[in-house]
Amino acid sequence: MYYDDNTVVYLNGQWLKAQSAKVGLYQQSFHYGNGVFEGIRSYQTPIGPRIWHAEAHYQRLLYSAKTMHISISHSVNELVDLTYQLLEKNQLGDAYIRPLLYTSENMGLQIDDKAHLFLCAWDWGSYFGEKPLHLVTSQYTRPDPESCHVEAKVTGHYANSLLAMKAAKQQGFDDALLLDKNGHVAEATGANVFFQKGDVLLTPKRGHLLPGITRKIVMDLCGSMGISCHEATLSLADALDADAAFLTGTAVEIQGVTSLDGQVFPLSWSESLGSNIHRQFNQQVRAA
């Protein structure tokens, strides 16, 4: 699914067939979770493939690397340029792009700051499929911001997302809603969350979540569409009392949520502000 005999990837300055790209088993990132990565989409537009908010994603990658003391010599512009080359070499228009920075062979706990850069891309349609989602509140909380850099996209942080998603699936739900250590709503396993209450949209404040690039795009879209949208501290009761909800993320894009903890939101997806925003979003990503 991610690659075939013809797929080309970028690894440490070389373009290689995915089949022949190799990493060692003693790589520190593999054992201790100190890799940093991104999830980016490109969309086919009338004037060719466009990497959606490429600069913002690569700025976040460099920020994530800095928090983990991983150094990389590439600039944002060089990374964007390499990514367009990656798309061209694989003849991809609509694609999901995965840049990863990982560290060298080292079984000690001293961060080996020399980064290895891996870039790959594949054709990834809708992450969850078309249907609005059923969420369940997770027994796992989001990582404590005093234990790690929650605004960085670090591979090790995703053990928390994997556990929460597994538990949600085992209970028959599509995804988990995670609270922070104070009991406030934070985000889903790989996406941010918005709630509609009357004519207003609310999304959890920064501090215990990954502040998504799509979250920011949606907040900006609300500004241009005249929709009132605020960051707020939200309790689980606030979330359950909402009229509608949706998730945002690069993989997820904008996806309606039907229910939380088995309680169905009163507004259907098509009646909600989220579906209007979704329509605008779809037009923007494909615009020339």
Q: Of the candidates 86, 210, 222, 277, which one interacts with ligand PMP according to CB under 6 A?
A: 210
* 123: nearest Cα among 87, 85, 152, 157: 87
Closest Cα partner for 211 from 194, 235, 228, 199?
Answer: 194
Binding region for ligand PMP (CB under 6 A) out of 124-132, 207-215, 256-264, 279-287: 207-215
Contact mark string toward ligand PMP, 148..167, x via CB under 6 A: -------------x------
| 143 touches ligand PMP by CB under 6 A | no
- Given the complex with ligand PMP, which of 252 and 260 has the nearer CB atom? 252
Per 3-state DSSP, what percentage of the chain is helix, strand, and coil (rounded to 5)? 30, 30, 40
Q: Does 249 bind ligand PMP (CB under 6 A)?
A: yes
Task: Return the DSSP state at 93.
Answer: S
- Collapsing DSSP to helix, strand or coil, 271 comes out as helix
- 250 makes contact with ligand PMP (CB under 6 A): yes
Q: Which of 22, 66, 153, 169 is catalytic?
A: 153
Q: How far is the CB of 61 from ligand PMP (least distance, A)?
A: 11
Number of residues assigned to the chain: 288
Give the nearest distance from C-beta 219 to ligand PMP in angstroms.
11
205 is catalytic: no
Among 191, 219, 257, 277, binds ligand PMP (CB under 6 A): 191
What minimum distance in Å lies between the beta carbon of 187 and ligand PMP?
Answer: 5
Residues in CB range of 20: below 8 A, 6 or more apart: none
214 binds ligand PMP (CB under 6 A): yes
Angle of the 76-89 helix axis to the 54-67 helix axis, nearest 10: 120
Beta-strand pair 14-17/185-188: unpaired
Specify the DSSP element, H or E, that contains 31.
helix 28-32
Residue nearest to ligand PMP (CB): 212
Out of 165, 213, 221, 242, which residue is the one contacting ligand PMP (CB under 6 A)?
Answer: 213
- Are the C-beta atoms of 210 and 150 separated by less than 8 Å? yes
When asked if residue 215 is in the footprint of ligand PMP (CB under 6 A), the reply is: yes
Minimum distance between the CB of residue 98 and ligand PMP, rounded to whole angstroms? 11
CB of 124 to ligand PMP, least distance (A): 13
Residues 6+ apart with CB under 8 A from 171: 136
- Nearest CB to ligand PMP, comparing residues 83 and 248: 248
**Of the two residues 11 and 150, which places its CB atom closer to ligand PMP in the complex?**
150
Which parts of 113-254 fold into alpha helices (H)?
A: 158-170, 213-225, 236-240
Binder among 21, 28, 34, 39 for ligand PMP (CB under 6 A): 39
Category of 116 on φ-ψ map: left (φ > 0), alpha (ψ -120 to 50) or beta: beta
Contact 29, 102 (CB under 8 A): yes
Query: By the criterion CB under 6 A, which residues form the site for ligand PMP?
Result: 39, 161, 187, 190-192, 210, 212-215, 248-250
| Catalytic positions | 153
